[in-house]
Structure 1
């Protein structure tokens, strides 16, 4: 099973992990956001549903992704572009989109202000 970890990390932490990866240390599949607010802005409830519908399905057209999610194609089109921009989806050579992971783990710590 391929799992992507979504986390909240500072630019310094992201740089540290990138340097470790260049030296051969396995970092796993990870996508970092600058703040919890940004993470939740990108990953709305509808986008979570879309990712769930696409998980393990392989490359799909936007119309097929919308059908799997039971949603309007136009709305899914906008969500897919936001998820592509965030790095959660990949575009194939033939223009299809794919969620290349079987599972998502979210990691962040909520601290007192």
Structure 2
């Protein structure tokens, strides 16, 4: 099972984690965890807004789907879904594939705390 973990962390933390991963010589496990990091909650919400999360729910467990089919399954117009899919592709959440777009993960895990403003 592959999981996409969404985190809120600084650029320094992201780079440190990537450096550690590169230095590890062990082969990746079956339960690979990909990470998508954002600097703030606002950035998370811009990319993974509720309508975009609905698109991901439709894509989980399927092979490539056309944008038109995704729009049909989420009950939205093509243009709006196209705009959302474009944003998801540009942010590395979904991938273009022959025959459409694909979400190459089985699930999403959100891993962050939201604290009170200082």
Question: What is the TM-score with the length of structure 2 in the denominator?
Answer: 0.87
Match for residue 19 of structure 1? 19
Match for residue 64 of structure 1? 69
CA deviations over 1:7-43 (Å, ceiling 9, x no partner): 1010111111110111127682110011111101111
One of 51, 71, 80 as aligned partner of 1:75 = 80
Residue 45 of structure 1 deviates from its aligned partner by 1.0
Residue 102 of structure 1 deviates from its aligned partner by 1.3
Contact 1:91 1:98 in 2 (8 A): yes
Question: What is the TM-score with the length of structure 1 in the denominator?
Answer: 0.91
What is the rounded CA distance, in whole Å, between the counterparts of 1:65 and 1:51 in structure 2?
9
Can you give the 5+ residue segments of structure 2 that lack an aligned partner in the other structure? Answer: none
**4+ residue runs over 4 A deviation:** none
